[in-house]
Amino acid sequence: MLKISNRSLIPPFIVMDVMRAANERAASGSDVLHLEVGQPSSPAPKKVIETAQFVLDDDKLGYTDALGISLLREKISGYYRDTYGVNPDPKRIVITSGSSGGLLLSFLSSFDVGDCVGMATPGYPAYKNMLKSLGVKVVEVPVDSKSHFQLKRKVLDKLSENLDGLIISSPSNPTGSMISSSDMRDLVDWCDRRGTRLISDEIYHGIVYGEQASTALSYGTDVIIINSFSKYFSMTGWRLGWMVIPESMIRSIECLAQNLYISPPSLSQMAAVAVFDCMDELNENVARYRINRDILLEKLPNAGLERFAPVDGAFYIYANVSHLTNDSSEFCKRMLSEIGVAMTPGIDFDGINGKSYVRLCFAGATQDINQAAARLQKWLI
């Protein structure tokens, strides 16, 4: 048998396995309520779809610049100015093939084999799996309710490892917790003082239920910002994201992008220019997420689920099920099989304590959220 590279021998992204099982159940004729995958049930905004249809009729859809079309980069720069009061030069903005493409470019341009990168756990599994495939050492720092499920400067001060990089996420997947402005400033300062590359995943910005999320870009120019059109902008399948990068990294990231991707999808880029005129429609989606969140926070305790991470933003509830099971993977399999509700086991996000947690996504239709809560209550009580 021919060799398979060691770098490819990484764990699966379990939520995708759960989605496949849910889709197989649906294909067999059984109903499924999808609370597993983090994607909005709403389509892209109407004006985005209209723009895409126009482009399909009028444009040959060839390659674009590797860093993306200039008009979209300018629109994103204006979005930062209007939303956060910061004004990044459009040349520092890189359009990517989803936020996943941005993460890969940021890791390749920032870290060498053997470097050490820290992150919170529970956290998004693709961070550590990508880094491990690149030969980078991952330091997982446990977080819990005592730290608002986020990294704190005082915890980082106690680490024995010297970190070459630090990844943060606010609002976080899977917990929905957020980093306060003061903590964000502290984290940026901590990294600056130690020469640690800070990568801030901000793909759930815009989906918040209290104060606006704080961007690391407000506190430093050497940070790398990762964002996406998938979540707040409701364009998941369009596979489009962006980075804001330090000026010193522009050419190296451009060379990586040229060789790895040629360019981001041209149709998606051209259509995305219109999304910044669709804020009312996008905020209606967030209003629905809030309703769905409040339904679950009210009804899940009736099903015996009472311990959650703080749901400050994003569209997830990270629930403790340790009183019901010591194996969240098997628990989720039974749930899908017996009541047709798909959830993601916490083991996807936390290899230490994840067997005691499940993640619910509430980005779907409100009627589905109500029905899922009713099924859970009947199943668990």
- In this predicted model, what pLDDT tens digit does every residue of 309-344 receive, in sequence order? 999 999 999 999 999 999 999 999 999 999 999 999
Which residues of the chain are modeled with pLDDT < 70?
none
Give CA separation, 126 vs 67, 129, 133, 231, 357, in Å: 23, 5, 10, 17, 18
CB of 175 within 8 A of CB of 138? no
pTM assigned to the model:
0.94
Fold category of 6-44+279-380 in CATH: Aspartate Aminotransferase; domain 2 (3.40.640)
Domains 6-44+279-380 and 46-277 fall in the same CATH topology: yes
Q: pLDDT tens digit string along 265-288?
A: 999 999 999 999 999 999 999 999
Residue boundaries of the structural domains of the chain: 6-44+279-380, 46-277
pLDDT of residue 220: 93
Phi, psi of 65 (to 5 degrees): -55, 150
CB of 343 within 8 A of CB of 335? yes
Pick the CATH number of 46-277 from 3.30.479.30, 3.40.640.10, 2.60.120.460, 3.40.50.1820: 3.40.640.10
